[in-house]
Amino acid sequence: MNRLPPILEEVAEIAGVDAALAIARRLGGRTMYVGKHPRAASALANVVGAKAAAVIGQHFGGAQVAWPRARGLINRLDARQLAESRGWSVPQIARHLRLTERYTRDLLQGVERGAPDAGDQTADPRQCPSCGRAFHKRRPCRVDPRQLRLPDLLDSP
């Protein structure tokens, strides 16, 4: 997952990407009332700062907001940051973030299982066109022509 959920994209546009990521990290999974004029001691202001909270309050003010966790994006950013800044190996990153080594490897390669472009033949010739996994013994997975691919279904009007 390379994108923020829609509500966090709105926050990123009005208050900045750092505020959106801070909300996902600290308030993700919670539903909370966002006042039109959040106080400096509010949970939102403690996470993003008073100025950003005021901007978010003007935009979402007077509504209950369910903040998404955005775990896929957060994990990707954290894994890449640890690999680039500290030079950690995949097993070290996986232990630190409490992820599997395979998932960590996928995050660092930019390959997600079930990604929307998993069926794209040009994405990576070493991947199965139906499921996106790496080929096992150079054989793709069997695909039943009667089954619908979820990305195709979601893209249709």
**Chain segment 102-112, per-residue pLDDT in tens:** 999 988 885 43
Which residues of the chain have a pLDDT value below 50? 111-122
105 inside domain: yes
Residue 1 lies in a domain: no
The number of folded domains in the chain is: 3
Domain that holds residue 134: 118-157
Residue 42: predicted pLDDT: 92
pLDDT of 121 reads 41
Per-residue model confidence (pLDDT) at position 137: 55
Yes or no: say if 79 and 103 are a contact pair by the CB < 8 Å rule.
no
61, 79: one domain: no
Verify that 59 and 79 share a domain, yes or no.
Answer: no
Residue ranges with strand state E in 2-84: 31-34, 63-66
* Cα-based distances in Å from 101 to 96, 98, 105, 107, 108: 11, 9, 6, 10, 10
Q: What is the pTM of this model?
A: 0.65
Q: Residue 153: enclosing H or E segment and its boundaries?
A: helix 150-155
| Domain assignment of residue 12, yes or no | yes
Q: Confirm if 24 and 72 have CB atoms less than 8 A apart.
A: no
Please report whether residue 102 resides in a domain: yes
